[in-house]
Amino acid sequence: MPRFLTLDDVDVKGKTVLVRVDFNSPVDPETKKILDDTRIKAHGKTTLKELSEKGAKVVILAHQGRPGDPDFIPLDQHAKRLSEILGKPVRYVDDLYGEEAKRAIRELKEGELILLKNTRSYPDERKSKNPEEHARSEFVRELASLADLFVFDAFSAAHRSHASVVGFIAALPSVAGRIMERELRALSRVLESPEKPCIFILGGAKADDSLKISRHVLNNGIADYVLTGGVTGHLFLAATGVDLGKPNMELLEKQKVLDLIPGIKELMARHPGKIRVPVDVAINIEGRRKEISIRDLPTEYSILDIGAKTIKEYCEIIRKAKSIVVSGPPGVYERKEFSKGTKEIFEAVAESEAFSLVGGGHTVAAVQELGLGDKVSYISIAGGALIEFLTGSKLPAVAALEKAAEKKSV
């Protein structure tokens, strides 16, 4: 577990506290309405509620989307939703660090909250600079001059070396918020001396990330087995020398992942028997599911799921596990005929007594859709940051908070 200060180490009553949360949510491209409020709820019910109840003057910083993208929208809806969650007003201020924002901050009373304009409206927000460089920006200087404390709670944005992510940590006494703590505690439980056997179930479309994660968890003795499915399963299967057939090989080519095969081979040779690939698959014959053994490959049809034998083999490993990480569904679960692999594997994870951690947008959506949300031990609200963490990278915000704690600047 990284070492940094938390809300337990500070007295916030009457203090002006800047809080960086991650409210970035899926948005309907047509109506521009937020489609899911998981992150708003998570921060609202923990860190923001606590700060407000303890009498802090709470100034919330958050981003939504990327400039130019359809989900780059103002944060007024987020403020409204947060206010419903907290049961008290949260004023949206359509300014980030100009006169309007500064006046709103000065006028705050104990326990009150405001949400400032999308941090990505500041043109240099996403420039990757180190904390000290960002701390010198006008944005950070102006807001920091009005605040007593910075609380970083946006674990899911902690992999970005952005101004509002790392800049304030270099400029103000800084601590981690409750979501940051919670995510890191859960992740540390599976990455630092996990209870064994420890398995990683890697599916979904991002085969390149799966390779990086596999490399980290196998080379460092974290995982006992890596079970592959989805496009990850395709690629790892191809690395064993299996020709998957035209549509499937074309998919891998389109995703530009075929050149990862030598690296996968090397990893498999280094850890014999530890990386499991499907032994059978489900192909899509005009909407119909047909299961075939990998001995019957290549196929002219698309592979959309793992087959029954693979499911059985994986479930046996899952049943014996004491720690499980799931990132990416094993099949195209959105299509009923091809949801079997995802359903049965995720049910086995939910039934197991292991500490189970699931993360990533599609994985979490599948877990919720299957009604298994309450049965897994921990659901991470992070996407890219989770992947980075699982690959063993030091996240810039974590590094900055650790440095701040060393200086004991609170």
Query: What is the contact surface with ligand 3PG in residues (CB under 6 A)?
Result: 22, 24, 66, 156-157, 160, 383-384
Between 62 and 222, CB nearer to ligand 3PG: 62
Peptide bond into 298 cis (omega under 30): yes
Peptide bond into 197 cis (omega under 30): yes
Between 117 and 271, CB nearer to ligand 3PG: 117
Between 156 and 327, CB nearer to ligand 3PG: 156
Between 159 and 276, CB nearer to ligand 3PG: 159
At 119, give phi and psi (nearest 5°). Answer: -60, -25
8 Å CB contact between 398 and 2 = yes
8 Å CB contact between 152 and 165 = yes
């790392």: which residue's tokens? Answer: 166
């996403």: which residue's tokens? Answer: 126
Dist CA 255 CA 251 (whole Å) = 6
Shortest distance in whole angstroms from residue 160 CB to ligand 3PG: 5
Residue nearest to ligand 3PG (CB): 24
CA dihedral angle for residue 404, residue 407, residue 408, residue 410, rounded to 10 degrees: -60
Shortest distance in whole angstroms from residue 385 CB to ligand 3PG: 6
Distances (CA, A) of 207 to 203, 251, 256, 264, 318: 8, 11, 10, 11, 21
Shortest distance in whole angstroms from residue 39 CB to ligand 3PG: 8
Between 24 and 284, CB nearer to ligand 3PG: 24
Angle at 272 between CA 357 and CA 250, to 5 degrees: 75
How buried is 194 (Cβ within 10 angstroms: 0-12 exposed, 13-18 middle, 19+ buried)? Answer: buried
DSSP state of 256: T
Between 345 and 381, CB nearer to ligand 3PG: 381
Shortest distance in whole angstroms from residue 6 CB to ligand 3PG: 22
Between 2 and 26, CB nearer to ligand 3PG: 26
Shortest distance in whole angstroms from residue 115 CB to ligand 3PG: 16
């981003």: which residue's tokens? Answer: 63
8 Å CB contact between 381 and 42 = yes
Distances (CA, A) of 188 to 217, 295, 364, 365, 401: 13, 40, 19, 23, 16
Between 245 and 384, CB nearer to ligand 3PG: 384
Q: Which residues contact 286 (CB under 8 A, 6 or more apart)?
A: none
Between 247 and 384, CB nearer to ligand 3PG: 384
Shortest distance in whole angstroms from residue 64 CB to ligand 3PG: 8
Shortest distance in whole angstroms from residue 286 CB to ligand 3PG: 36
Shortest distance in whole angstroms from residue 183 CB to ligand 3PG: 12
| Residue 41 neighbours by CB distance under 10 Å | 15
Dist CA 356 CA 213 (whole Å) = 17
Between 18 and 21, CB nearer to ligand 3PG: 21
Shortest distance in whole angstroms from residue 337 CB to ligand 3PG: 30
Shortest distance in whole angstroms from residue 117 CB to ligand 3PG: 16
